[in-house]
Amino acid sequence: MADLRDIVREKLADNALQAALARALGIVRGKRTAAVSELASFEDAKAVAAAVRSNAVQRLKDYLPQLEARLADEGTHVLWARDAAEACRMIVDIARQRSVRRCVMSKSMVAEEIGLEAALKNAGTVVVQSDLGERVVQLAHQKPSHITAPCLHLSAAEVGRILHEKSGIELSSDPEKLSRAVARTLRPVFLDAQMAVSGVNFAVAETGNLVLVENEGNGRMGYTMAPVHVAVTGIEKVVGTLADAAALLAVLPRSATGQRATCYVSILPPRPFPGQERFLVLVDNGRSAAFGAGPMRDVLRCIRCGACMNACPVYERVGGHVYGWTYPGPIGIVLAPFLGPQEVRAEISDLCSLCGACTEVCPVGIPLDRLIVLARGLSHSCRPAAVVKRERSALEWFGRAMGGRVSYRLSHLGHKLARAWFPKKLARTEAELGWSGVRTAPGPAAVLFRSRFKRRAAAEDGTADEGSGGEV
């Protein structure tokens, strides 16, 4: 992986990206705020949703077997995949055994996470993404940059150009028009597909229902028409009851797109449609590790609404590709230690200023900024030992400087002397720390606050009465 700082620089200088981000995030933030403020108390709804998810995660070991039993009773096959490779193998096998030549895939972050599209393609199956955004990134040979809006990094004009060049759709930058045109190109695909792959928003343990939300209806079209439906999801997506799922539906669309409800909410019965085979592939792929990681377990509460990245001031500046894997933004940082590829685990947690805007909006109460600090702790083992050592020695040096009255004053004096005697050397250090040029490093105070305060107290002594001053 190229140096993260270089990638960031490149994104900051990409004017088209900057414009697309500003526009899209401006809209989605505004819509979310409006959708949230029309409720008497979104905070209450959030608290309920947080309790639902927290309970579901604590009780995973009860709910998952319950879900499996419910589904198996009704004829849905439940498969368990330890990791991405196993999940892909299972799904490829399903396709092979049924000689599936064409597969329609609706938006699924887990499919993205495990690299399912590539696996199916390698096995000779043609895969067509049916979600408009996913279709666009697929045609452009790109990766999604957002978990609910895959082509958020592109302007409407760029989307129009890609669709025009790659699938002959009339040039336009009107999203409505484009979406209708893409729907038309998808019709034969739906008729022809022998297999549909979808994600799952919530799997209900008590009833065996699979709940899926979407806005275009293409997902539903795919998995109701194809003779084989493979729903693939993470093991954490289970909830106890339909009422639990309803509590989450109250916060999910408002948080994600600022909608009261998505255009389509599908609640699939546990029994496959007549003449259809259905599989539910439950993917672990690091989730058990997160489950066993103390306070980090809370990352499993996530319902993938994307609100945290929409609110994130870092995401806003650099977009989703910088994070280097399927899940960008704050949630991507805290999932990376468990689900992320090795190469992103070292640096991804640097992409955060710990402002807490994500935690403020997360509808299921994940303390994201707190967990990012912990993720930084976990990142050290993935970074070059020398780098970590350097960082630790600098912090140790700082600790010693701050560790006593004398060393504290000496280090301040040292700073002042360096400024007077070795300004060039100091300037180099400041530049290394990123404080130079367009951001001037602060100079050390001529007199520390503590000294000023003491002097004032001393001056007042005798003249003043019981006034302020002195030491504790």
Partner 1 sequence: MKVALFVPCLMDRFLPDAGMAAARLLESAGVQVVVDSRLTCCGQPAVNAGHPDLARKMALRMLKLAEHELPVVVPSGSCVAMMRDSYGLMDLSGQDAERWRSLRGRVFELAEFLVERGLTNRVTARCEARVVVHHSCHHLRHVAGSGALAVLLERLEGASLLESEQARQCCGFGGVFSSKLPELSIAMGRARLDAMLKLEPRYIALADAGCVLQLSGILEGEGLSKRAQVVHYAQLFTGDGLKPLDAGE
Residues in contact with partner 1, shown as a per-residue x/- string from 255 to 294 under the rule CB under 8 A:
----------------------------------------
Of 91, 182, 248, 351, which lies in the binding site for partner 1, with binding defined by CB under 8 A?
A: 351
- Asked if 444 touches partner 1 (CB under 8 A), the answer is yes
Q: Among ligand SF4, partner 1, none, what does residue 74 contact (CB within 5–8 Å per kind)? A: none
- Asked if 370 touches partner 1 (CB under 8 A), the answer is yes
Three-state secondary structure readout of 351-379: CCCCCCHHHHHCCCCCCHHHHHHHHHHHH
Q: Among ligand SF4, partner 1, none, what does residue 366 contact (CB within 5–8 Å per kind)? A: ligand SF4
- Helix/strand/coil for 442: coil
Residues in contact with partner 1, shown as a per-residue x/- string from 11 to 30 under the rule CB under 8 A:
-x------------------
Structure tokens at 138: 């697929």
Q: Among partner 1, ligand SF4, none, what does residue 448 contact (CB within 5–8 Å per kind)? A: partner 1
Cα distances (angstroms) measured from residue 468 to each of 258, 352, 405:
53, 40, 21
Of 59, 321, 415, 419, which lies in the binding site for partner 1, with binding defined by CB under 8 A?
A: 415
Closer to partner 1 by CB, 166 or 415: give it.
Answer: 415
Of 75, 175, 399, 423, which lies in the binding site for partner 1, with binding defined by CB under 8 A?
A: 399
Three-state secondary structure readout of 223-277: HHHCCEEEEEEEHHHEECCHHHHHHHHCCHHHHHCCCCCCCEEEEECCCCCCCCE
Of 100, 203, 231, 314, which lies in the binding site for partner 1, with binding defined by CB under 8 A?
A: 314
Give the number of other CB atoms < 10 A from CB of residue 345: 21
Closer to ligand SF4 by CB, 49 or 210: give it.
Answer: 49
Interaxial angle between packed helices 132-139 and 175-192, expressed in degrees from 0 to 180 and rounded to the nearest 10: 80
Alpha carbons 328 and 349: distance in angstroms, whole number? 11
Closer to partner 1 by CB, 398 or 422: give it.
Answer: 398
- Asked if 466 touches partner 1 (CB under 8 A), the answer is yes
- Helix/strand/coil for 259: coil
The minimum distance between CB 251 and ligand SF4, in angstroms, equals 9
Alpha carbons 141 and 149: distance in angstroms, whole number? 16
- Asked if 75 touches partner 1 (CB under 8 A), the answer is no
Half-sphere exposure of 137 (CA within 13 A, CB side): 20
Alpha carbons 301 and 58: distance in angstroms, whole number? 10
Of 47, 156, 265, 355, which lies in the binding site for partner 1, with binding defined by CB under 8 A?
A: 355
Closer to ligand SF4 by CB, 71 or 283: give it.
Answer: 283
Residue 412: is it exposed, middle or buried by C-beta count within 10 angstroms (0-12/13-18/19+)? Answer: middle
Looking up tokens 């004009």 gives 157
Q: Among partner 1, ligand SF4, none, what does residue 363 contact (CB within 5–8 Å per kind)? A: ligand SF4
Of 126, 350, 418, 426, which lies in the binding site for partner 1, with binding defined by CB under 8 A?
A: 350
Question: In one letter, which amino acid is 112?
Answer: E
- Backbone phi, psi, residue 262, to 5°: -75, 160
The CA-based angle 94-100-101, given to 5 degrees, is: 145
Of 80, 264, 273, 453, which lies in the binding site for partner 1, with binding defined by CB under 8 A?
A: 453
Of 5, 121, 187, 260, which lies in the binding site for partner 1, with binding defined by CB under 8 A?
A: 5
Binding segment toward partner 1, per CB under 8 A, in 40-48, 111-119, 245-253, 345-353: 345-353
Phi-psi region for residue 95, left (φ > 0), alpha (ψ -120 to 50) or beta? Answer: alpha
Closer to partner 1 by CB, 30 or 188: give it.
Answer: 30
Looking up tokens 């997902």 gives 219
The CA-based angle 58-60-63, given to 5 degrees, is: 125
- Please give the helix or strand (H or E) that residue 449 lies within, else none: helix 449-460
Instruction: Name the residues that contact ligand SF4, by CB under 6 A.
Output: 255, 302-308, 331, 361-364, 366, 368
- Asked if 439 touches partner 1 (CB under 8 A), the answer is yes
Residues that bind partner 1 (CB under 8 A): 4-5, 8-9, 12, 313-314, 317-318, 349-357, 359-360, 370, 373-380, 391-392, 395-396, 398-399, 402-405, 408, 412, 415, 433-445, 447-450, 452-454, 466-472
